[in-house]
Chain A
Amino acid sequence: MRNLYSRAVKFAAMTMTDIARESGHRAGFCDCEYKILGEYIMSELFKVSSNPHIRSRATTNGLMLAVIIALMPAAGFGIYNFGPRAIAVILVTIISTVLTEFLFGLYKCGKNRPQEKETRSGEKSVSGMEQVSLVKTIFEKTTITDLSAVVTGLLLALNLPVTMPLWMAALGGVFAILVVKMLFGGLGQNFMNPALAARCFLLLSFPTAMTAFDCDIYTGATPLAALKAGEQVDTLNMFIGRTAGTIGETSVIALLIGACFLILMGVIDFRIPGSYIGTFILFVIIFGGHGFDPVYLAAQISGGGLMLGAFFMATDYVTRPITIKGQYVFGIFLGLMTGIFRIFGPGAEGVSYAIILGNLLVPLIEKFTKPTAFGYRKGGKHGEK
């Protein structure tokens, strides 16, 4: 942009000197000349490119890095809470997602590559320069450098119990990237959150392994299941995170630190998490059977994956509605569904199903909350003035 601008100014100045020479002026610009100069600059600027002209400095890479940093407290607490095996689960999932994305990109790259030139003797010759450019194109074509696969892997790992067999975790990573993301066209085209889709895939495939929360430190049911069974739970421990559960979901404090970081960085806003958690609280008050009981409410909010889902999964840029009104609708829908799954459903947890169900409804929500374009009649049909 700046480059184009300076080029335009240079061009205008050159033309100005021509004009000045012709009209006999040697020094100093009069008003009309400034006007001409301005018109030249503007006419050049108008030809810069098609819209959008105002661009944000945010890049996919930067956003993903911010999410990874924001997830670090939760991951760190998970490792501290559940021991070194949590590191293994996290590493295996991240490696499997990144590797899958890399291999898929490599496959596509190989398919689209122009056919190698053959020398006269029929041998394929690849010179050093070509090899370097090949490696370069591979890294340009494969999308691993945008870090989205790392985020998917990390989120998936935080959604798995620490006792998960490692090959199952790796299978989940492959499923998330290959089936949910890459087969639908890569980042930006996936129709539901890959990490959550993989979690549900694993939950349906290996129900026993996915709900085995017994580990060396904690035995017995998760606090949410205990709550559902009508037992007393320690809300303070749930808030700090010293309970059984998946690796990343237990500590509300760690998750809130990450969420604050994301909000301060401007990566996410309060619309979806706020409406989601608010609707859920209302639902629990009305249908929970305990009325306005602060202890029960606090346990419901800090139990399970609600915090992780509301701040890190539901706000996923690809699978949330882009309209502001739609984001509120989306949050309210998620809150309702989570409440229904948790209170009326057979299981204790319902965040992941609620979110992927909401993801599927996003196109519909966007269709009904599309803002009226400037110059168009409100409520009019598409294209009607």
Chain B
Amino acid sequence: MNKAGERLYNGLVKENPTFVLMLGMCPTLAVTTSAMNGLGMGLTTMVVLALSNLIISLLRNMIPNRVRIPAFIVIIASFVTAVQLLLEAYIPSLNKSLGVYIPLIVVNCIILGRAESYAYSNPPVPSLFDGIGMGLGFTFALTCIGAVRELIGAGELFGFALMPDSFEPVRIFGQAPGAFFVLAALVALQNYIKNVRKKKGKSYEKIGSGCTEDCVNCGDVSCKKRFYDADAVDKGGQAIKSPSEKKSGKGGQATESSPEKKSGKVNQEQESAAEERGEKSAADNMQEQDRKGSMKNESPREAGHVAEKTQATEKEER
């Protein structure tokens, strides 16, 4: 049960889908013209999210890895259809105001994201609570955005007029630009609150789904989500190392590593080619400076590219 509480807290605060993960922006920006719309959209999504998480988690050993996305979509789509029919029957006004965004829940990236990153590799009960937590976080965010927009853009809150009569509503908040303003302001606000509380010693490190999302430095070889093979990882590692070498300023001098050797070679080739063409530069030390500069600046990949090019041009000349 502790796990369930942790999932709820994770979805609401640490990994809030709207404010932290920045997922599901389409409904967030489109339907939050009022607090009621935001609340309705959030709760609808939460129901679909929790149920689909539960079912996908139950079926996770039966769904083949290769067709998992179509399988997820089928499960999610059936729940969305059921929820839409229920809404049409019992809350037709909400159904009307949300319009096309209810069928669009099928392709909501929060739902697919949670299915992919959590429910597919975790047992049913935590998955259910993960869905509820994420859904509550989404609902909270949408309601907040909707409330602010409704209050400033129309002077109302949940349909009740709050502002005095002299208040002139700022209409832009009810339109699309207002959604961006309010979203940005609320994200900034929650980052500010988190920063203040971090200074007091509270931890907001991402719990994640047991995954740090840093595949390069991850030791888990059997990980299903690993999206490239071991060779690619090595290349990635090198690519990450090279800028740090550049920063330390050793890039020019260190000739041990292969990319540097390559670039040196390249420049020699370039120079020889230039000399052949009779384009001798004015002073030798200038050339030296050039070489140093290019060795510092060129990343290994570019150097290789240039090497190929120079070889090609030499062939042409022959």
Do these two chains really belong together in a complex? yes
Which B-chain residue is minimally distant from A209 (CB atoms)?
B168
A205 engages B172 (CB within 8 Å): yes
Q: Is B209 an interface residue (CB 8 A)?
A: no
Interface of B is mostly: helix
Residues of A within 8 A of B51 (CB): none
| Contact pick for B175, options A168, A204, A206, CB 8 Å | A204
Q: Is B75 an interface residue (CB 8 A)?
A: no
Query: What 0/1 pattern do residues 193 to 216 of A give for CB contact below 8 A with B?
Result: 000000001001111010000000
A204 engages B177 (CB within 8 Å): yes
Residues of A within 8 A of B171 (CB): 204-207
A206 engages B168 (CB within 8 Å): yes
Tally A residues with Cβ within 8 Å of B: 11
Residues of B within 8 A of A207 (CB): 171
Q: Chain B interface residue count: which class?
A: under 10
CB within 8 Å of A: which B156-210 residues: 168, 170-173, 175, 177, 181
Q: Is A42 an interface residue (CB 8 A)?
A: no
Expressed in whole angstroms, the Cα–Cα distance for A171 and B167 within the complex equals 14
Expressed in whole angstroms, the Cα–Cα distance for A20 and B296 within the complex equals 42
Closest chain B CB from A167 CB (angstroms)? 9
Residues of B within 8 A of A206 (CB): 168, 170-171
Which A-chain residue is minimally distant from B177 (CB atoms)?
A204
Expressed in whole angstroms, the Cα–Cα distance for A209 and B172 within the complex equals 14
Closest chain A CB from B175 CB (angstroms)? 6
Expressed in whole angstroms, the Cα–Cα distance for A313 and B223 within the complex equals 56
Expressed in whole angstroms, the Cα–Cα distance for A207 and B172 within the complex equals 10
Expressed in whole angstroms, the Cα–Cα distance for A179 and B170 within the complex equals 16
Expressed in whole angstroms, the Cα–Cα distance for A165 and B181 within the complex equals 23
Which B-chain residue is minimally distant from A383 (CB atoms)?
B302
Residues of A within 8 A of B175 (CB): 204
Expressed in whole angstroms, the Cα–Cα distance for A86 and B181 within the complex equals 30
Closest chain B CB from A254 CB (angstroms)? 31
Closest chain B CB from A153 CB (angstroms)? 20
Residues of B within 8 A of A383 (CB): 302
Residues of B within 8 A of A205 (CB): 170-173
Query: What 0/1 pattern do residues 137 to 181 of A give for CB contact below 8 A with B?
Result: 000000000000000000000000000010010010000000100
A-B contacts, 8 listed (Cβ < 8 Å):
A168-B168, A201-B172, A204-B177, A205-B170, A205-B171, A205-B172, A206-B168, A209-B168
B: residues with CB less than 8 A from A are: 168, 170-173, 175, 177, 181, 302
